[in-house]
Copies of this chain bind each other. A is one copy, B any other.
Amino acid sequence: MDFGSDRRATINDVARHAGVAVKTVSRVLNGERAVSDTTRTRVQASIQALDYRPNAAARVLRKRVSRSIAYVCEDIAEPVQARLAGAIEAVAVEADAAMTVSVTHHDPAREQSVIESLLSRQVDGIVLWPTGVRSRFLERLGRIVPVVCVDRPIPGVETDSVFCDNQRGAEEGVSALIAAGHRRIAFVGDLPELFTQAERFTGYKQSLYAAGLAPDDRLVFRRRQDIPALAKQLAYWQLLPDPPTAIFAASSLSATTLVRTLPATADLQLVGFDDFPLADVVRGGISVISQEVPTMGTAAAQAIFRRLSGDRTGFTHTRVPPTFIPRNLVVRADRQSESFSRR
């Protein structure tokens, strides 16, 4: 075991081997046209013979671009963030660039430190899934390197962005429940201060409003949740004179926790935001609003490369509409005893 102990060939070695100047080798490497076919062939043969690989560090030092983009997210093990990584990587390799992945674990301090490290490494751009905490550092970041925010913005800081159209998605899901005859629809979500949660809640209320249904604060649960907390909430709902017949779960965590909490026989229709594995199976199939993750990742990475190719126009804000996947959503005649307006 003796990694690279035999000094790797440099451009000088290739030039000597081919009997040309280094600049000529450089021209071949970079596909510049001002090289005769014979020279080019000879140089390429020498490259082969010496197993030469250009030293990216030297090239970066000289050209000041690294052909590498960074993806900074909260948790690469989380399915949506992992799939986004796949889409970004695909665009990167296509552009002959590398993708580094850094993880913040929702920690603003770590967010700053990993980004500092990336800047030191001369990354050409950053796809950022922000922690959602503003800072002087993040305010200036966009001046140093192209930044595209995904999932949510940096509060108070404008960057290029690619978000899911959360409100529209939620509207679609809740409207489907209304169309299926539900009039009492509960909302289960995460902390209200989260950007995506706020948008989805707005969509929920908007759909109720459009259908002429009165919102009811008692049907809204927006807290960090676990099975005991949800069990308690469900028990409370059952005691209401007019209990909910359906629940809109504003995150896949909410939806899966509900699945684990609800008795198998509970007569409650579920719609969830974000698809999740086996959503097609549990409780006879749960309808979901599914984010178009590949589309979002591709758009985010392309936004970076657009900036790199010199585009200095204003910020672009892309909203990717999610897809509603109906599953086991049957119209329930018994729930339509009262007439009400429907979209």
Contacts and interface: CB of A to CB of B under 8 A. Distances in A.
Interface of A: 1-4, 53-58, 60-61, 66, 68, 75-77, 79, 82-83, 85-86, 89-90, 93, 96, 98-103, 114, 116-122, 142-146, 256, 259-260, 276-278, 280-282, 307, 312-313
Contact of A82 (B60, B82, B93, B119): B82
A310 to B, nearest CB: 10
A98 B120 CA distance: 11
A100 B100 contact: yes
A154 to B, nearest CB: 16
Q: Which of A100, A101, A122 has the most CB of B within 10 A?
A: A101
Contact of A259 (B83, B122, B281): B281
Given A57-B122, A256-B277, A114 B100 contact: no
Q: This chain: how many copies in the complex?
A: 2
B2 A145 contact: no
Nearest to A60: B57
Contact of A100 (B2, B68, B75, B83): B68
Contacts of A122: 55-57
Contacts of A278: 256, 259, 276-278, 281-282
Given A55-B120, A55-B122, A278-B277, A99 B101 contact: yes
